[in-house]
Amino acid sequence: MWRNRDQTITGRDQVIAFLTAKWDRELDYQLRKNLWAFTDDQIAVRFQYEWHDHDGQWWRSYGNELWRFDAQGYMTHREASINDRPIGQEERRVTPGHGELPTW
Give the domains, in start order, of the chain with CATH numbers: 2-91 (3.10.450.50)
Which amino acid is it at 99? G
Confidence (pLDDT) at 84:
94
pTM: 0.78
> Mind listing the pLDDT tens digit for each residue in 1-50?
887 788 899 998 998 999 999 999 999 999 888 899 999 999 999 999 99
pLDDT tens readout for residues 45-97: 999 999 999 999 999 999 999 999 999 999 999 898 999 999 999 999 887 66
3-state secondary structure 9-50: ECCHHHHHHHHHHHHHHCEEEEEEEEEEEECCCEEEEEEEEE
CA dihedral 15, 74, 95, 4 (to 10 degrees): 40
For residue 48, count other CB atoms closer than 10 A to its CB: 20
